Amino acid sequence: MSAASTDKSTPYIPLVAAEESKAPQKGGADDGWSNEDEATATCFCGAVQLKFPTQGPGFVGAFLCHCVDCRKITASMFASNFTVLDTHLTHLRGRENLTSFSQSRTIASKNTMTNYFCSTCGTLMYRVSSGFPGQSILRVGTVDDFRLHETKLKPKVEQFTETRVGWLYPADGMEQIVKSWM
Ligand SMILES: [Zn+2]
Ligand SMILES: [Zn+2]
């Protein structure tokens, strides 16, 4: 079955319109939102949508990770993450559309990391560590309200800086951790 052929196509919204709207159009969903305490995170195709807290007690914190797994798993050079308590995380839709992949071989702590991807578009929605039960590590880039990337979800820490790509420098004001607690 081809998801693309049955999908209602979503018109491209130019940047000017996006700036005026509450949640700029990105990817396949246009129903992301945020309020004072909570916001949505949606995969690229729109099938999977989460609701999470943007402040305590359910919001633990945001961090950049330069570890080799994060480089590989993001198909990029670092991951921008934030941790929430599972008791405060809601699957609004598409939980049955998530595929998981686990491994511990390359995890320094030997914990097993389980990664949950959208089966349709491949977006990594969150990771769970066996060493930190009850917490999920979400991705800043999936959060629909991009203003939160600049504010509440701005990472405060960079970890695994020992494997940061050589041309990238420490972000202003972010605590630098050579390895990590994960
Ligand atoms: Zn998707
Ligand atoms: Zn990492």
Residue 31: what pLDDT?
92
DSSP string, 51-114: EEESSTTTEEEEEEE--HHHHHHTTSS-EEEEEEEGGG-EEEE-GGGEEEEEE-TT-TT-PPEE
70 CA to middle of ligand 1, Å? 19
Cis peptide before 57 (omega within 30 of 0): yes
How far does residue 46's CA lie from ligand 1's centre (Å)? 5
Does some domain include residue 10? no
Q: Give this prediction's pTM.
A: 0.84
Q: pLDDT value at position 149?
A: 96
Ligand 1 midpoint to CA 39 (Å): 18
Q: Is residue 13 part of a domain?
A: no
Neighbouring residues of the ion ligand 1, judged by CB less than 5 Å: 43, 45, 47, 118, 120-121
CA angle 83, 64, 38 (to 5 degrees): 35
Instruction: Report the candidate in 72, 83, 87 with the shortest Cα–Cα distance to residue 137.
Output: 83
Does residue 20 belong to any structural domain of this protein?
Answer: no
In a domain, 143, yes or no: yes
The answer to whether residue 50 sits within a structural domain is yes
Q: Determine, yes or no, domain membership for 39.
A: yes
- Per-position pLDDT tens, the chain of length 182: 444 444 444 444 444 444 444 555 678 888 999 999 999 999 999 999 999 999 999 999 999 999 999 999 999 999 999 999 999 999 999 999 999 999 888 766 778 999 999 999 999 999 999 999 999 999 999 999 999 999 999 999 999 999 999 999 999 999 999 987 55
Q: Is residue 6 part of a domain?
A: no
Residue at 3 is within a domain: no
Residue 24 confidence (pLDDT): 55
Q: What is the CATH number of the domain that holds 82?
A: 2.170.150.70
Range of the domain at 90: 28-177
User: What is the total count of domains within the chain?
Assistant: 1
Compute, in angstroms, the gap from residue 81 CA to the centroid of ligand 2.
Answer: 9
Question: What pLDDT sits at residue 110?
Answer: 79
Q: Which ligand is nearest to the CA of 113?
A: 2
What is the CA(144)–ligand 2 centre distance, in A? 22
Q: What is the rounded distance in angstroms from the CA atom of residue 66 to the CA atom of residue 86?
A: 24
